[in-house]
Structure 1
Amino acid sequence: MYALHQFMLIHVLTCLRQNALGSEIINGEKAPENSLLYMASVQNKYGHSCGGFLVSEDFVVTAAHCDEGNPRRIVLGTHDLSKPADTVKDVIMKCIHPYYIGVGNGNDIMLLKLSSEVQPSKSIQMIKLPSSEIKLKENERCLVAGWGLTKTGGPLVHQLRVVNVSVISPEVCRENWPGLPDGLICAGGYGTNKGFCQGDSGGPLICNGTAVGVVSFNKWGRCDYPDAPNVYVDIAKHLDWINEILKKKHC
C-alpha cells in the first residue's frame, strides 16, 4: 500500500510540475496599500512568474520550483505590478535547497540573493521567520498573498491580493495526498472556496505575523475549491539551512 501511495504521489507531482509555476489568490481581496510590505514579485524576462518574501536586506525566499521560470529580478515595494517599481533588484545568486528533487518532497524552497541590499522603508519591510519549530493548530487562521490568477484559467491581475486560510491537520492532509512526506503544511483549498492558484508559488503562508510556510503546490493546477488541500513547505524544518545562508551571504 505504501508503494502504491508513493506511486500515486509521484504521478501527481510529475503532472504538478507542469502546472505549479506562478499561483494567485482565490476569493480574496486587494491587499491594503500599507500592508504586506515584505512581498516580492519574482520575475523573468516576461514579467511576474512567482511570489516571494523579503527576509533580510539582501535575500528573498521563494519556492525551489520557481527556478524553472529562470528568475532574473525581484520587484519590491509595490502592490501594483502595472506601475513602474521604485525598487528592482537583479538576482545574482540562487540557493536551491540541496535536497530538492521536485514539488512535494518537502524541500521546495530557495533563497535568491539580491544585487544590492535594500533598507527598510515606508514601502519595504522584512518579515520574521520562526525562531524554532512551531506547532500549528488545526483550523488556525493564517493568510496567503500573491499576484496572478483569481480562478482556474482566468486572466492575470496586477494588484496584490490576500486571503485568509485555515490550517488543515496532517492526518486530513495525508488522506487527500497519500504518501505526502513530513516537512509540509496544508492550509486552504479543501472544505473551503479559498486558497492559492497558479501565480502565488513561492509566496508566504503567514500565521500571527510570521512566515511559516512557502506556497508549493495544489492539485492539477486547479483552483476550483473545495478540493485537495493546498500544500506549503514548512519553513521551521529548514531554519538551520536558511540561517546559515543569511549569515554567510552565500550558498
Structure 2
Amino acid sequence: MLLLLLLTSAFALLPWAGAGRIIGGREAKRHSRPYMAYLIIQHGSGTSACGGFLIRPDAVLSAAHCADEIGIVNITVILGAHNINDREQSQQRVLAKDWVIHPNYSPVGFRNDIMLVKLDTEAKINKYVRLISIPSHKESVRTGAACKVAGWGLISVTRKKTDVLREVELKVQKEEICQHQFQNYQQQSMICVGDASNEKLVYDGDSGGPLVCNRKAHGIVSHRHKYCLFPEVFTRISFFEPWIHKQLKRFALQEVPGSPSSD
C-alpha cells in the first residue's frame, strides 16, 4: 500500500510514502517466521495488502495506515504462508472480526501508526503458525542492533513482485538521523532503521510487518521518504504496549456473553 503526503518545509516540498518493499534481501527459509501474517484489505475502490504479525491466537498487529481508507468492507488474514499466491496446506485464512486503529493516528508524519486486528476465530497454533512476543513498556532496542524484517512486498524499484516471503537484515540507527530527515519524527514512539548504503531496505507492500530484534517484535514497518531510501521509520511497539494490552482486554470482553462489550 502506498501513501503519498506532501509536506511543506522551509527548503523543499517533501514527498512521503508508506514503507514496505524488501530490497537487497533473500527468500526466507520456508515457515521460519511462523508469526507472519498477510492482510488482504477490501474497500470501496478495490483491494490492498499489508503485512502483520500474530501476537495472540486471536490478534494480529499491523500499521494503521494499512486500513486508513474510506469504506473498508473486510480484512482477511492469511497465516502460515510462504508462497502467498499458492493455496498451501499450511495456510489458515481467517476473517477479521474487528480492527482498531490507534485513536491518535495521523497520516501527517504517520504518527501513532499502529493497528490491532481481532480475528473472527482463533488461529490454530502449530509449527507453521506461532506467536511472537512484544517488548514491555520500558524495554528498548539499542542503536546498532541488527534486526530482521520480512514480507511479501515488491523486491525492486522497478516494481518487481515476489510471491514468496523474503527477509532482510537492517540496523537500528541513531535517532538524530531520522530527526534530521523527518519533520514529524517522534523519538518516543518511533524507531530509526536502515542500511546507509541503500542496498537493503523495505518498500511498497511490507507495511505492517515486524522489526524483529532478539526474537521480539520491536517495531512495525511504517514510512520513509519517497525519493530518499535511507533512513526508514518504524513504529516503536514498546511505547504502545499499554494501549495494546488495553485493546486485548477489550477483545476478551467481547467474547463474554452478556458483557457490555459483547455483540
TM-score (norm 1): 0.86
C-alpha separation between the residues in 2 aligned to 1:179 and 1:204? 21
Match of 2:124 among 119, 123, 126: 119
Cα offsets for 1:45-100 (capped at 9, x unmatched): 46661000001011110000000364520000011111115310111211000100
What is the match of residue 177 of structure 1? Answer: 182
Q: Which moved more, 1:124-133 or 1:66-75?
A: 66-75
Letter of the structure 1 residue corresponding to residue 161 of structure 2: L
Q: Is the 8 A contact 2:141 2:218 kept in 1?
A: no
Residue deviations 1:200-248 (CA, integer Å, cap 9, x gap)? 100000100000001001211x5xx7x4311100000101110111122
Contact (CA 8 Å) 1:58, 1:114: kept in 2 or not?
A: yes
* Structure 1 pair 131–154 and aligned structure 2 pair: CA distance change class (3 A): same
Query: In structure 2, how many angstroms separate the alpha carbons of the residues matched to 1:103 and 1:232?
Result: 15
CA-to-aligned-CA distance 1:112-164 (integer Å, 9 cap, x gap): 11110113101100100002322322221001111121112322211000000
Look up the match of 2:25: 28
Q: 1:47 to 1:237 in 2, by over 3 A?
A: same
Distance in 1 (alpha carbons) for counterparts of 2:122 and 2:246: 18
Identity of aligned residues (%): 32
Letter in 2 for 1:120: I
Which of 163, 169, 180 aligns to 1:164? It is 169
Aligned with 1:128 (options 109, 133, 136): 133
Structure index of larger Rg: 2
Relative to structure 1, the CA distance from residue 60 to residue 91 in structure 2 (aligned partners, 3 Å threshold; closer, same or farther) is same
Q: Secondary structure at the match of 1:100?
A: coil
Query: 1:54 corresponds to which residue?
Result: 54
User: For residues 114 and 48 of structure 1, what CA distance do their matches in structure 2 show?
Assistant: 18
List aligned pairs for 1:2-81, cutoff 5 A. 7-8=8-9, 12=14, 15-16=15-16, 19-20=17-18, 23-45=20-42, 49-68=49-68, 70=72, 72-81=75-84
Unaligned runs of 5+ in 1: 1-5
Tell me, yes or no, if the aligned pair for 1:24 and 1:145 is still in contact at 8 Å.
Answer: no
3-state SS, counterpart of residue 68 of structure 2: helix
Shift of the 244–179 alpha-carbon distance from structure 1 to 2, 3 Å rule, reads closer
* Deviation (angstroms), 1:8: 3.0
Check conservation: 1:27, 1:194, Cα contact below 8 A.
yes
Letter in 2 for 1:75: I
- Tell me which protein shows more helix as a share of its residues: 1
Residue 101 (str. 1) matches residue 103 (str. 2): no
Instruction: Output one character per residue of 1:151-197: Cα deviation in whole Å (capped at 9) or x when no partner.
Output: 12322211000000000010122122234223100111434411101
Secondary structure of the residue aligned to 1:41 is strand
- Map 1:212-251 to 2 at 5 A: 212-220=218-226, 222=227, 227-249=229-251
Amino acid of the structure 2 residue aligned with 1:245: Q
1:138 and 2:159 matched: no
Q: 1:122 to 1:241 in 2, by over 3 A?
A: same
| CA shift for structure 1 position 102 | 1.3
CA contact (8 A) 1:190 1:230 kept: no
Distance in 2 between residues matched to 1:53 and 1:103, nearest whole Å: 24
**2:202 partner SS:** strand
Distance in 1 (CA, whole Å) between partners of 2:118 and 2:108 is 22
- 1:55 alignment partner, SS class: strand
The DSSP-based 3-state class of the residue aligned with 2:22 is: strand
